[in-house]
Amino acid sequence: MDEFDLKGRVAAVTGGASGIGKAIARRLADHGAQVWVLDLDPAAAETTAGEIVEAGGRAWALACDVADPESVSRAFSTISSRGPLDILVNSAGIAHIGTITTTSLQDFDRIFRVNVQGTFLCMQAAVSIMVQQAAGVIVNLSSLVALMGIPDRFAYSMSKGAVRAMTLSVAKDFLDKNIRCNCISPARVHTPFVDGFIKRNYPGRETEMMAVLSKTQPVGRMARPDEIAGLAVYLCSDMAGFLTGADIPFDGGVLNLRGN
């Protein structure tokens, strides 16, 4: 018996074509969910959806720019026209490196529009559907930087703090509608983005810098996307029916064990 059975549930995953979002989309499908893969890159979304179908699941791809209200409206109108929406996972997001003095207004606005406005727009669209069903689950991807300060992540930290706050607010406001809303706050996760970042900024020192970044976590490594996906499946399942308004640090011991 699958305690995390999601058969009959319909899920939308933003940023579902790569990294953490892709891992979550595939894992939800593994547990029986029908998955809408939303991504800015329609070809990559089609690839992910195709992989899910090839593995025996059900999935569809949708082009969606989460920062664009019209794009989000079109995507969720398409989803609602085909039936219910039981699960939303907001994984789409972008990063930025800089302090308050080195962050331009343009960079700040770009981070805000994708990470904050994008999460807002998708939650707003999903909640409008879920309210009519009197049921639903939302999982947002925040970050450990919403809970602690790290160097050179001013705008990114701002955005993830906002995601955490929005999560708690939606959880509170829609308790009576049977809509649960939680977020995951990972430490560093080994994704293609991390590999690209190291390659661009530390050419010839990739192995060294991977070791440095890995040791930031007391467990001695970064998280894997599939580990984040496992937690997301739990939060979306009935096994987490008692859990709402929670921010779960997935941090390899950073908050409580670093320095010990």
Query: How far is it, in rounded angstroms, from Cα 153 to Cα 146?
Result: 10
* Catalytic residue from among 4, 156, 174, 250: 156
Among 6, 50, 54, which Cα is nearest to 28's? 6
Which uninterrupted H or E stretch holds 69?
helix 69-81
Query: Residue 117 has which token pair?
Result: 């406005």
- Torsion angle in degrees (nearest 10) through CA of 179, 48, 44, 235: 30
The answer for 167, left when phi > 0, alpha when psi is -120 to 50, beta otherwise, is alpha
Query: Residue 257 has which token pair?
Result: 């064990």
Longest CA pairwise span in the chain (Å): 55
Q: Is 234 a catalytic residue?
A: no
Active site residues: 156
